[in-house]
Amino acid sequence: MTVNSTTAPAASGTPTASSVSGRVIALAHYAARAALETVLARYDLTFQQSVVLRVVAVADGPVAREAVVDQVVDSLKIGAAEVRGVLAELAAAELVADAGDGEPGLVAVTDAGREVHARTTAETGVVSARIYAGIPAEDLAVAGRVLGLVTDRANAELAAAR
Map 80-138 to HEC letters: HHHHHHHHHHHHHCCCEEECCCCCCCEEEECHHHHHHHHHHHHHHHHHHHHHHCCCCHH
Q: What is the pLDDT of residues 21-74, one digit of tens each?
A: 999 999 999 999 999 999 999 999 999 999 999 999 999 999 999 999 999 999
Which residue in 119, 55, 53 sits closest to 91, CA to CA?
Answer: 53
The verdict on residue 144 lying in a domain is no
The verdict on residue 112 lying in a domain is yes
Q: State whether the Cα torsion 90-92-98-100 is positive or negative.
A: negative
pLDDT at site 100 = 73
The verdict on residue 153 lying in a domain is no
Confidence of residue 89 (pLDDT cuts 50, 70, 90): very high
The verdict on residue 145 lying in a domain is no
CA atoms within 13 A on the CB side of 115: 7
Q: How many domains does the chain have?
A: 1
pLDDT at site 92 = 97
Residue 7 has pLDDT above 50, yes or no: no
pLDDT at site 18 = 74
pLDDT at site 8 = 43
The verdict on residue 29 lying in a domain is no
pLDDT at site 9 = 46
Q: Amino acid letter at 114?
A: R
CA quadruple 59, 61, 66, 70: dihedral, nearest 10: -10
pLDDT at site 15 = 57
The verdict on residue 21 lying in a domain is no
The verdict on residue 147 lying in a domain is no
Cα–Cα distance, 18 to 15 (Å, whole number):
8
Confidence of residue 80 (pLDDT cuts 50, 70, 90): very high
Q: State whether the Cα torsion 25-26-27-31 is positive or negative.
A: positive
The residues near 50 (Cβ < 8 Å, ≥ 6 apart) are: 36, 40, 120
Segment 98-106 shows an average pLDDT of 77
109 three-class SS: strand
Residue 10 has pLDDT above 70, yes or no: no
Q: 103: domain range?
A: 45-132
Confidence of residue 20 (pLDDT cuts 50, 70, 90): confident
Cross-strand pairs, 64 = 106
Read off the CATH number of the domain in which 65 is found.
1.10.10.10
Provide the whole-model pTM.
Answer: 0.84
Q: What is the pLDDT of residues 128-158, one digit of tens each?
A: 999 999 999 999 999 999 999 999 999 999 9
- β-bridge pairing 96-98 and 106-109: antiparallel
